[in-house]
A and B are shown apart, each in its own frame.
Chain A
C-alpha cells in the first residue's frame, strides 16, 4: 500500500461549482499534512497546511480525519485559475521527509 494515495482524476468541474477530493495515508503516526498545488510544467507550491481542527482559507477548506486516516480539500465557487494538480503531502513527527501523493488533476470548465 502506498504511503499516500489520491484519486488521480481528472476531475472536470464547471466554473462556480464546488469540488472536493480526498487523500488517504497509511502511517497512523503521521503528524503534519499539507496540500500543494502544481500547475502544468511548473513546480509545486504550498496551498495550505491541514490542521487537526480543520482550516479555511478563502474558498478553500481542508479537513483531517485521523480515525479514518484521510485528509480532504474542498474548493467552493471554483475559478478557471483553480485548474491544476493538487498534491496531498504527509510528514511524520520529527522527520523532515515529506511524502507526496501522485496528485489529483482538476480542470475547471468555463
Chain B
C-alpha cells in the first residue's frame, strides 16, 4: 500500500486566493482526519470523518475552511479566501477504527504558504 497520499506537497498562493488540499487515505481505512501544524500551536485537529461522514468539525477555525469526503478514497480541505495566518503544514491521516487504540497513519503533508 502506498500509504496516505496528499497533494500538493507545497502550495504558495496569494492572500485571497482559494486553496484546495487533497488526500487519499489508505484503502480499507474508515476514518480520516485533517490536522494543521504550526510551530506555535503544534498539531491541531481540524475535522474528522468516519465512513465518509463528518463527525467533528469543531476544530475548523472559521467559515473560510471547509472539508468534504465524497467517497471512501478521497477528501479535500478548502480554504477560501486564504489569509497569511493560514500558512502551516496540513496533514491528512487515516485509520481503521477499532476500540480506542487505533493507529493513525499520516500523509507527508502539504506545506502551505499564503503571501
Residues of A within 8 A of B (CB): 31-32, 36, 42-46, 49, 87, 91, 93-103
Contact = CB atoms under 8 A, between A and B. Distances in A.
Please name the 3 residue pairs, one residue from A and one from B, whose CB atoms are nearest each other, closest first.
Answer: A102-B42, A43-B106, A100-B43
Interface of B: 31, 33, 35, 41-45, 48, 50, 55-56, 91, 95, 97, 100-104, 106-109
A96 B42 contact: no
A87 B43 contact: yes
Contacts, number: 48
7 contacts: A36-B104, A44-B91, A44-B106, A96-B31, A96-B50, A96-B95, A102-B42
B49 to A, nearest CB: 10
A44 B37 CA distance: 11
